Amino acid sequence: MNNFLPQVLINNTYLIVEKIGEGGFGEVYKAVDLSFRNFVAIKKLFRNYSENINFVSMFYKEASIAKTLVHDNIVRVSHFWVDEDSKEFYILMDYVNGKSLEYIINKCRKQNIKIPFEFIWYVAVNLAKVLHYLHLGAKHPITGEPYNLVYMDLSPGNVLISFEGKIKITDFGVTKTKQSIEQDKRTIIAGKYAYMSPEQILGEKVDFRTDIFSLGIILYEMLTYEDFLKKDVEEIKQIITQAKFDFERLKEINIPQEFISILEKTLKKNKEERYSSALEIYRDLRSLFKEKFEEAIKKYEKMRAKILEISLPHTPYALACYYIIAPSEASANLARYDGIKYGFSAGNQKQRTPSNLLNVYFESRGKGFGVEVRRRIMLGTFSLSVGYYDAYYLRAAKVRSLIIKDFEKAFEKVDVIFTPTSPTLPFKVGEKVDDPLKMYLSDIFTVSISLAGLPAISISVGKVKNLPVGLQIVGKPFEENKIFEVAKIYELSANSQ
């Protein structure tokens, strides 16, 4: 299907580029804001709903609530209007340059690619964080009264993931305040059937725990690839109302038991047995590999170290930044490798000698570089190519400068910085060789240090499931002695107990 449309100008300001999505009662377009020269998203109510007061009311309610929501994980809504000539209704939103979680799941399912657990954990943490904001943090801009919103439509299609790694939710058409739920005597089933809670499907009263169940279904689908949308209505109803989920299969694919326990609690049939708040889920997710890290910090506190929390606002971009800059440098440097001056040379092989000098170059590079080296050279060559240099390498270099400034600012207050070494427990040797994305995600805490050019050391601070947990100690430039001293203090303390 071709989503590109003839050029249409809306409100004399927004030039429609293409259709990018469709919901229950509206369609979404990518457009250019001619006044600010940037991309925006425009949601338009279906024409056949424009004269239906109920749908218009829901559309307006979505805009009025969403416009007051300010959170990193929510697509910002900035405007709502009615075209006087066509009588069509529009909502103006930020454009998220990325893909929906639904697209990612379906693509991985189709190509039989396992979604990295680190990515699933990252999605879970961000969704739990934004649900907590909706449930308890969102407030009326004038009165300051909390909305106590129940989202009621958490599904992969409403979760957008930008190419920079930001996770945002959208579409608040069926979202309700706690007050409206308590006052509404009607039984209305709203949302996507496959991602509803048992109480939603049965038409019972809903609350914050309804969204928690929906979060559980999304995580379960990401882990198992069970396609609920392809099941018939009765089968979905049976699975959800009886909470028939196979958690044993998660153990077979080596999902940490702590994460399975969290998932089991989110998917309890009886909402009284579920997590009572999204904040509880967020804390449990964050503490999966955090316990040993915090124990190490407490040891330093006992030794009279002053512990401060710091902000490194640009580190979320470090992973993407690193895997643009490092491959680009590898591509540029290894372009000089010819198999003549040093290293492996195809010209020295007895089995087959290249016929000429140019073939010596080609075969030395082809046989001398491993799979990962060739992958990084290709990534780097693409980032440095004409037409992409400004979009990738130059932008990554600018972000690198911001990351360096973050650390400089932090070191004005502290002598060393503590972080975990890895977001997960160690994996088996060779386990992720065929899945480079998983390997790259494991570097999330270390790449920012490399980008900033700082010295760091990783020490073991205990074990979980008989596997070591690492504490990374980061120092100022040229202060390697200090991080060695801090690491030695911990080891001496640990050995003395």
Give the count of beta carbons closer than 10 Å to the beta carbon of residue 194: 19
Give the per-residue pLDDT at 31. 94
Give the per-residue pLDDT at 229. 76
Tell me whether strands 159-162 and 149-150 are parallel, antiparallel or unpaired.
unpaired
CATH fold of 293-495, please?
Amidase signature (AS) enzymes (3.90.1300)
Kindly give, in sequence order, each residue whose CB lies less than 8 Å from that of residue 195, ignoring residues fewer than 6 positions away. 153, 154, 155, 156, 214, 217, 218, 228
Secondary structure letter of residue 274 according to DSSP: S
Q: What is the distance between the alpha carbons of residues 280 and 262, in angstroms, rounded to a whole number?
A: 10
Question: In the chain, how long is the greatest CA-to-CA distance?
Answer: 85
Which single residue is written with the structure tokens 């000098």? 357
Domain boundaries, the chain: 4-94, 98-287, 293-495
Give the per-residue pLDDT at 1. 44
Lookup: tokens for 199: 């109480």
Secondary structure letter of residue 445 according to DSSP: T
> What amino acid is encoded at 363 in this protein?
E
Enumerate residue ranges in the chain where pLDDT < 50: 1, 187
**Domain 98-287 grouped into CATH 2.40.30.10:** no
Give the per-residue pLDDT at 111. 92
Which single residue is written with the structure tokens 């449309």? 5
In the chain, pLDDT over 90 holds for what percent of residues?
A: 49
> What amino acid is encoded at 452 in this protein?
A
Q: What is the distance between the alpha carbons of residues 93 and 66, in angstroms, rounded to a whole number?
A: 10
Give the per-residue pLDDT at 277. 95
What secondary structure does DSSP assign to 372-404, as a single string? HHHHHHHHHHHHHSTTTIIIIIIHHHHHHHHHH
Q: Which residues pair with 15 in a beta bridge?
A: 9, 32
Give the per-residue pLDDT at 224. 93
Kindly give, in sequence order, each residue whose CB lies less than 8 Å from that of residue 147, ignoring residues fewer than 6 positions away. 65, 134, 138, 139, 140, 177, 178
Q: What is the distance between the alpha carbons of residues 392 and 140, in angstroms, rounded to a whole number?
A: 40
CATH fold of 4-94, please?
Phosphorylase Kinase; domain 1 (3.30.200)
